[in-house]
Chains A and B, each alone.
Chain A
Amino acid sequence: MTQEPILKARGLVKRYGRVTALDHCDFDLMPGEILAVIGDNGAGKSSLIKALSGAVTVDEGEITLEGQRISFTSPLQAREAGIETVYQTLALSPALSIVENMFIGRELRKPGPLGQWLRMLDMPAMQQFARTKLNDLGLMTIQNINQPVETLSGGQRQGVAVARAAAFGSRVVILDEPTAALGVKESRKVLELILDVRSRGIPIVLISHNMPHVFEVADRIHVHRLGKRLCVIDPKEHSMSDAVAYMTGAKRPEAA
């Protein structure tokens, strides 16, 4: 592969007291791909993701985004740089509407003095934008975008969270266990949504425990074990049982 990774990490180390969560971990995300990150509980997946999304600051190592060295101290900075994360908890405010949730933290204000001096929100423009984005992602089964998020089903909420991440010209979308809490049908919708986001050229990091889902949508699979990258496998050439065997240490990858 001659392409440069869009998001690259080298030698990340993160210690919590005497526990080493990341032990000189490497990471590569290629443009336009879906990279799945799998690993057993406690392997350090979430520490890796938090490091990439700015939620934790690493002790050692460097992260580059499109060749630029980055070091985030808050998720906000990562987001400003174009790394959007959809957390397992979704980070939606239940009582606020779909539109308000999509725009939270980056609301549009009315042009002119109303917006500049009175700070008035431009609700029509935000609704228009939200409607377009949800439409693009085939999520317009949601009839009323002013309805509170708490009235939506689990899959629809996930859809809103993914749409929020994909809507704002982001360069990388990180999805943390997007299907963990969903039923079969809703999971299917979310997987389609993930493929849809990729087809827009946005690369995705997918953290999941669900092997069938991982093997279905991922282009490459990053196997995380004992705080570092054990290997990267091609789902077309490996079976799920191989992946599980690597992940749990039952089997070692042939020549790294």
Chain B
Amino acid sequence: MSDTPRNTAEYEQALGSADAQLAEFEGPKRTLLGHVQHFLHSHPTMVPVIVLALSLVVFGILAGERFFTPFNLSLILQQVSIIGILAAAQSLIILTAGIDLSVAAIMVLMSVVSGKLAITLGVPPSLAIMASFTLGTLAGMLNGLLVTRLRLPPFIVTLGTWNIFFALSLWLSGAQSIRSQDIDQMAPLLKFFGNSFRVGGANITYGSILMVLVFATLWYLLNKTAWGRHVYAVGDDKDAAELAGIRTDRMLISVYALAGFICALAAWASIGRVGSISPQSFYEGNLQSITAVVIGGISLFGGRGSIMGALFGALIVGVFQSGLRLAGVDVLWQVFAIGWLIIIAVAIDQWIRKVSA
């Protein structure tokens, strides 16, 4: 009953004489625009870098000499440092294809916690800061647990925890601010990151240095360690990552916990930056951090983009605000400009994505 089963590939024999020429899609000439598109596709951080360079040039011309003083440039660095650190935490979450609406809420809550402990309850400031680190990590972990265990969308989870953490901040502080003088008197350590040193005319705060260090550390973790590559893999395709042997839930929880820890760092830095501790501060910080990440070219769909993009994104926002202010433009037009910047950044990102590799 056998009819030559081993020759089943017979029908493929024509393959030997098949046309070896494969279809070629690449035309002989690529337009200049095509070259640009290809270059940007293989160097994704170049977009925010170019935008940053261009905006520096444009505002240098518009705002005149005052813009390019070392003092003003270091001031921009100071101004973006808190949102920058939050954007670093936000980038981690967005790389996993999530979004964290609670970063600023965790930060504010942690600044309130350390203020309450150190000023109101008289706990040694170093212990108060350690406590805020621990609680910040736990707050991030709570987000992670809700996302992974209850399988809720990160948007919903963090929308909820944003409100919860905000309410807790109000409750803990009794809706009262802690005055700058009280901090100076009782726990100057809380203001550590507000200290600064001078280089030429520039005034560099420790908070600015902290921001750069946070980004450098995360860059290393994301690019040079297995953990970092797994962050990208999970954001890229969670099911594939799971099948490939990554414990995606544990990975996600660790990402949210690290983001929470970074928010606690931002909390410490924010006390130095603002001077006082207020539960009402940084109410727009969540969205500002997302703005920086998006302008930095990190995809909201996860798995693509460089952490350094978020740093450049935060700096671009800072340069726009400073430049427009120095050029004498009303604040409302600064907001207007940032709005267009977001839309243009995402449009450019989509355009680069379309490149045929």
Contact = CB atoms under 8 A, between A and B. Distances in A.
Q: Do A and B bind each other?
A: yes
Interface of A: 75-76, 79, 85, 87, 89-96, 100-101, 104-107, 109, 118-121, 148, 150-151, 184-185, 188, 211-212, 215-216, 235-240, 242
A109 B227 CA distance: 11
Contacts of B240: 89-93
Given A105-B245, A236-B5, A96 B11 contact: no
B181 to A, nearest CB: 42
B17 interface: no
Contacts of A151: 357
B226 A107 contact: yes
Q: Which 4 A-B pairs have the closest CB atoms?
A: A105-B245, A91-B243, A107-B226, A151-B357
Given A76-B245, A104-B241, A236-B2, A185 B18 contact: yes
Nearest to A78: B245
Interface stretch (B159-167, B190-198, B228-236, B312-320): B228-236
B188 to A, nearest CB: 33
B6 interface: yes
Interface of B: 1-3, 5-6, 8-9, 11-12, 15, 18, 220, 224-227, 229-230, 232-233, 236-237, 239-247, 303-304, 357
B236 A96 contact: yes
15 contacts: A75-B243, A76-B245, A89-B239, A93-B241, A95-B232, A95-B236, A96-B233, A104-B229, A104-B233, A104-B241, A107-B226, A121-B229, A188-B15, A237-B2, A239-B3
A196 B140 CA distance: 48
B245 A95 contact: no
A87 B233 CA distance: 17
Nearest to A109: B226
A105 B5 CA distance: 41
Contacts of B357: 148, 150-151
A75 B245 CA distance: 7
A252 to B, nearest CB: 14
A237 B1 CA distance: 7
Contact of B1 (A79, A188, A211, A242): A242
A247 B154 CA distance: 46
Contact of B230 (A92, A104, A118, A211): A104
Contact of B244 (A93, A238, A239): A93
B226 A235 contact: no
B229 A107 contact: yes
Given A121-B226, A238-B1, A242-B1, A93 B243 contact: no
A95 B224 contact: no
A151 B26 CA distance: 14
Contacts of B224: 118-121
A236 B224 CA distance: 52
Contact of A87 (B227, B243, B247): B243
Given A95-B303, A240-B8, A104 B236 contact: no
Contact of B243 (A89, A106, A150, A237): A89
A185 B240 CA distance: 26
Interface centre among A90, A95, A212 (most CB of B within 10 A): A95
Contacts of A188: 12, 15
A100 B229 contact: yes
A23 to B, nearest CB: 26
A93 B95 CA distance: 13
Given A100-B229, A104-B229, A239 B243 contact: no
A165 to B, nearest CB: 11
A239 B2 contact: yes
A91 B246 CA distance: 11
B11 A105 contact: no
Nearest to B356: A151
Contact of B8 (A90, A150, A212): A212
B229 A96 contact: yes
B303 to A, nearest CB: 5
A93 B242 CA distance: 10
A193 to B, nearest CB: 15
B225 A104 contact: no
B107 to A, nearest CB: 27
Given A104-B233, A215-B8, A93 B303 contact: yes
Nearest to A108: B226
A120 B229 CA distance: 11
B245 A93 contact: no
Contacts of B8: 211-212, 215-216, 240
A156 B243 CA distance: 19
B252 to A, nearest CB: 15
Contacts of B236: 93-96
